[in-house]
Each structure stands twice: as C-alpha cells, then as structure tokens.
Structure 1
Amino acid sequence: MSDAALLDHERVVYVGRRSVRVRVRPGTGDGPPLVLANGIGVPLEVLDPFVAALDPSIEVVRFDVPGVGGSPTPAVPHPYQLVAQLLGRVLDELGHDRVDVLGISWGGGLVQQFAFQNPRRCRRLVLVATATGSLMVPGRPAVLRHMLTPRRHRDPVYARRVAGDIYGGALRLDATGSPLQARAQGGSSRGYLYQLLGTAGWTSLPWLPFIRQRTLILAGDDDPIVPVVNARIMGCLLPNARVEIYPDGHLGLLTRAPELAASVATFLAEA
C-alpha cells in the first residue's frame, strides 16, 4: 500500500440527527481496527503522536465525542452508556463488526463501558491512565480542582504553569509544547461540563469481573490524576488483564508515544 493510501480520511458520520466527526487511518494488515477514545475536553488531533508511532498495519479509528472538536454539543449530558451506544452506531456506519478499543483517562471509562455492552464486538481492550470512575483511589484535591474547568486546554500560559502538577512525569521538567496544546479545534464549555455530568456517579467496579476480553492496562508511575494503584486494582478485578507500569505521568501515551505504541501493537498482535 502506498504512503498516500495511509493518510487519514476524515468524515462526518450521521447517527439519526446527531453528527460525529471521525478520522480513519487505513492499515496495511487485515486485523480489526483499533478505536481510540480520548480524554475529557480534547479532540482527536491530540492523539496524533501516538497514531504516528503505531504500527502501520493497524487501522485506527478516532472520533470526537459529542461536545468536543467537530462533534456538536448535545442538548443534554450523555452518560457513558449512551456514548458507548452512539459509538456502536458510528462503527455500524463505518462497516466495522469487530474492533479493538483503547481509552485514555475519561476515554478509558468509555471503552470499559463499550466492552461491557459489546462483549462479542469488542475483541481486546487497552486502558491507559484511567480508573473505575467514582469508586477509585483519587488524586489530590488540589489536582482534581483543575479538572473542573477546560481552562488548561485554552489558556497556554496557565496550561504551562500547571502542567507538571496536573500531569506529572516528563511535564514536571518541561511543559513547553504540552501535547494538549497541539490541537486543531476545541470544544464548548458546555460540552466539557456535559462530559463531567455524564459520568457523575458512574463506576465500573461492580462489573469489571464480567469483562472477559483480554486487557492491557498501561499506567504511569507519576500520575497525579489517576494514582497508579488504580491500575493494580483493575488488574486484579479484570479476569484476563495484565498491567504495565511506565516511568512517566498521565500523558505518557503522548510523551512516550513510540514506546507505548510498541507495547499496544505487540499486545494486539498476540495470538
């Protein structure tokens, strides 16, 4: 396949009256596509470094959740269950019957929900810098307060000032050019609030043992938002999971993209 054929293809997928911005990178292999679910308040472009580092044989599907990037803000907050259902319908429109899924941070909760609702459709699950929702070991309150506002995505000066404290890892040493600032489109403040409200009270803790898909859990050893103990808890509860700890923070999927992309590709290729 030529390099030109591997360029991302962007489109808007319509599910009823709702439109969802989607970007697909074709793969050279014949395995199922990898669907990526992003963190709160950030559009699909943020994952560019990871996608660029990922094995080109893997087809990659990215999307903006409602209220982020190119997907319009809904009239009311959408809980994870509804967003997971919406994702399934988007995949129907794309013609994908069986997929692997990867979620980082907020997106990690979404893909847990998707895997639970779609045990046959979801082949494998990758959870990055995420936890079990409202029943988890939380970060420090001073850190979590920053998560209540999208300001860190919109104010570059503020973002650089707080990046090390919020995300830890490599950004403690150098927050210049933080990965979250390299984004083409933002989301509305209402969309950000709706993402928060849609997950209020949600937890996967009671039903994680019923997720039978093989799962890779990636967690940073210096993650102020999601302490690493949460990965170990999920690893104990998920029947077919393994945990890999990397030496970085909450955004390790971006700051250590080549290393973690290789880990994900290896996991997806395992027999």
Structure 2
Amino acid sequence: MGGTVPRDGYDVQFVTIHGHRRAYVKAGKGPVVLLLHGLGCDHTTWEPVIEALSRRYTVIAPDLLGHGQSDKPRADYTLGGFANGMRDLLTVLGIDKATVVGHSFGGGVAMQFAYQFPERTERLMLVASGGLGPEVSPGIRAISTPGFDQLMSVLTLPGIRHAGMAGLRALSSAPYKVTRDLDEVAAIYDTFKDRRARHAIRHVVRAVVDWQGQIVTMADRAYLTEEMPMWVVWGRDDRVIPVRHANAAARIAPNARVEVIPDAGHFPHKDHPVRFAHIVHEFIRTTAPAKYSRARFRALLKAGGNQASLQAVEDTA
C-alpha cells in the first residue's frame, strides 16, 4: 500500500509496513544514500542537500516511525527497532545496499543499522551524532523526566506555542553562536502539539538517555568499523552534542575520517549545504563500498578489537 503527497518540490511517498504507514522522499538515480534525521525532526531537515545529492545518487530520506508524516503508534522505539524498520523499508523499495548518513539521533540509528546489517551497509557517515559519548543538552535530558507530557500539553496550547515559536525564531536570527539552532528547536517544539508525537519522542529518548546523559554508545563495538568506510562530520559550534565527541570518534574508530565545519552548529547540513553535499560526494568518490565477509566479521568479534588477537584468529582460520 502506498501513495504520494506533494510537498515543497518533493513527493512524499508512503508505504505500509507491519501495519504502520511510513513516509519517505525518494529522489535521483545512482548509488543509494539513506539520510536519517534526528530526534523530533523529519525528512525536511535534509531538503537543503537533497537536490544536490540527487544529481549523482538515489536519495532516500524517510520520516522515522513516530516522526513527521509517519505513523506514531505504541511501538518499539529502540535503536534496534529503528534499524529494523530501515532494513524493511529498503527491502520493500527493492534496495539491497546503501551509504547510510545519520544526523544526531539518526546517527545512532545509522550505527545500529551498520552493526545489525553490515552486509547492507556500504559506508557510514555520522553527522553531529549521538552514541559517541555521554554528554547531551539539558533539553533532551528533560524529555525523559516525569511530567514532561503534562508540561508540554500546556506549553503547546495555541497561544503559548505560537508565542514561544516566534521567540525562538527571533533569537535564532541573532548574531550569537549559542542561538544558532533555535529555529530548528522551534520546529521541533511545534511537533509537540501532537500528543502521539510527544509520546513517541519520549519513548525514543528514554531508550537512549537518562538523567546523566546518553546511555548507548558505540565505544565497545567501534572496532567493527575497521571494515566499514566511516566519516564523522560536526559543526564546531554545536550546543546540543559537544564537538569533542568527534574527537572521541577518532579515538575509538581510528580509520574514520573526521571533519569539523567552522561556523556551523548542530545542523551542519543546513548551515553549509553546498559544502556538506560536497563532503558526502567526496566520501563516496574516494572510498570503496564495504564488502561484508562473515569470516572476517567473526574474526573481529572473536578478537574484540585486539589486533594481536585478531591476527591469531586469522592465522588459525
């Protein structure tokens, strides 16, 4: 079951999987690039770069379950659940493999997808990604606290919501780095008027964040990226997830390339869309797609990231 709804120059298409309607945009031809948005966002966060990328690639930009125009059921909102959903969406669309690009929470989904389905992942790009360290903004931690839904039910009343969004957007135009991303915060705030969206996002956050910060990281499995081309992109002025997490990625995944974009916040693909599209193209142009080997994957798992152990495992294979 499917359909299309015109939206800002792109057709938003729909497919029903496991009884839940999922929205996505598909544009262009060529190797597949799967774009995964962050918490509270949807595919429109990628609109500044979709056109440029679609000149060379088939771009798939879904609304994750619980977000945007996709259904918001009582469902599995864990990273594993989202990764399974992306596997199923690509399967229904007849797509076998993709370069997976994940922003913020979508970066966590991208990492989980690459971990669960390495045979379907050609490359992995993490953009201001979750899952690389514990720190996260207080606003995201607040979503997991008791009383969030009751507070939002008041703050999203029409008059209060409109005033709050206007204030956030006005602040975002101020010449201060700390207010750079508040226009995006305003858009996320607007989605909270939908009680189903609030519940979905709360379940998402509780699966990966507690009062101390992020509870799910890739640190213990980063050695598996040895066989996976990986590029980490961050905005130097990110106030949501600190840019130092990019350095953490370099430590735990030494083969990954790290690029920090000056004068960019938590949404570098929106702050500098031309440069970002160029980075994606360079990533694909200069790296060969990963080739999954069950024997190699087994050896990596047995060695647990220890190079000496890995050599010993391979010598006895």
Q: TM-score range by the shorter chain?
A: 0.7 to 0.9
Question: Whole-Å Cα distance in 1 between the matches of residues 120 and 129 of structure 2?
Answer: 22
Which residue number corresponds to residue 99 of structure 1? 98
Which residue number corresponds to residue 11 of structure 1? 13
Question: Whole-Å Cα distance in 1 between the matches of residues 28 and 115 of structure 2?
Answer: 26
Q: 198, 201, 207: which one pairs with 1:189? A: 198
Q: 190, 193, 202: which one pairs with 2:216? A: 202
Question: Whole-Å Cα distance in 2 between the matches of residues 144 and 128 of structure 1?
Answer: 17
Query: Rg larger in 1 or in 2?
Result: 2
Matched ranges for 1:55-74 at <5 A: 56-74=55-73
Of all paired residues, the percent bearing the same amino acid is 24
Structure 1 range deviating more: 197-206 or 78-87: 197-206
Question: Whole-Å Cα distance in 2 between the matches of residues 225 and 164 of structure 1?
Answer: 18
Give the C-alpha shift of residue 180 in structure 1. Answer: 6.0
Q: Which amino acid aligns with 2:43?
A: L
Alignment of 1:157 with 2:166, yes or no, is: yes
Q: Which amino acid aligns with 1:54?
A: L
Question: Whole-Å Cα distance in 2 between the matches of residues 210 and 192 of structure 1?
Answer: 29
TM-score (normalised: structure 2): 0.71
Question: Whole-Å Cα distance in 1 between the matches of residues 173 and 208 of structure 2?
Answer: 25
Where 2:22 maps in the other structure, the secondary structure is strand
Contact 2:26 2:59 in 1 (8 A): yes
* 1:120-178 per-position Cα deviation (integer Å, ceiling 9, x unaligned): 11000110011326xx151564x55576678799742243366589xx74954x96xx3
Question: Whole-Å Cα distance in 2 between the matches of residues 170 and 256 of structure 1?
Answer: 17
Contact 2:23 2:63 in 1 (8 A): yes
Which residue number corresponds to residue 252 of structure 2? 237
Rate the CA distance shift 1:162–1:110 in 2: closer, same or farther, 3 A: farther
Rate the CA distance shift 1:209–1:161 in 2: closer, same or farther, 3 A: farther
Give the C-alpha shift of residue 220 in structure 1. Answer: 1.4
Rate the CA distance shift 1:13–1:231 in 2: closer, same or farther, 3 A: same
Give the C-alpha shift of residue 38 in structure 1. Answer: 0.4
Contact 1:103 1:126 in 2 (8 A): yes
Rate the CA distance shift 1:82–1:234 in 2: closer, same or farther, 3 A: same
Structure 1 range deviating more: 47-56 or 34-43: 47-56
Contact 1:54 1:258 in 2 (8 A): no
Matched ranges for 1:242-261 at <5 A: 242-247=257-262, 248-261=264-277
Question: Whole-Å Cα distance in 1 between the matches of residues 137 and 205 of structure 2?
Answer: 18
Structure 2 gaps, min length 5: 1-8, 210-214, 288-317
TM-score (normalised: structure 1): 0.82
Contact 1:77 1:197 in 2 (8 A): no
Q: 238, 244, 247: which one pairs with 1:223? A: 238
Rate the CA distance shift 1:48–1:127 in 2: closer, same or farther, 3 A: same
* 1:39-97 per-position Cα deviation (integer Å, ceiling 9, x unaligned): 10112112111213336111100111111111111214410001101110110000000
Give the C-alpha shift of residue 268 in structure 1. Answer: 1.0
Contact 2:74 2:200 in 1 (8 A): no
Rate the CA distance shift 1:72–1:104 in 2: closer, same or farther, 3 A: same
Rate the CA distance shift 1:55–1:269 in 2: closer, same or farther, 3 A: farther
Rate the CA distance shift 1:228–1:96 in 2: closer, same or farther, 3 A: same
Which residue number corresponds to residue 108 of structure 2? 109
Between Structure 1 and Structure 2, which shows a larger proportion of helix residues? 2
Question: Whole-Å Cα distance in 2 between the matches of residues 259 and 269 of structure 1?
Answer: 15
Contact 1:220 1:250 in 2 (8 A): yes
Where 1:22 maps in the other structure, the secondary structure is strand
Contact 1:66 1:72 in 2 (8 A): yes
Contact 1:179 1:254 in 2 (8 A): no
Where 2:118 maps in the other structure, the secondary structure is coil
Contact 2:27 2:54 in 1 (8 A): no
Give the C-alpha shift of residue 208 in structure 1. Answer: 1.5
Structure 1 gaps, min length 5: 1-6
Question: 1 or 2 for the larger relative contact order (CA 8 Å, sep ≥6)?
Answer: 1
Contact 2:171 2:179 in 1 (8 A): no
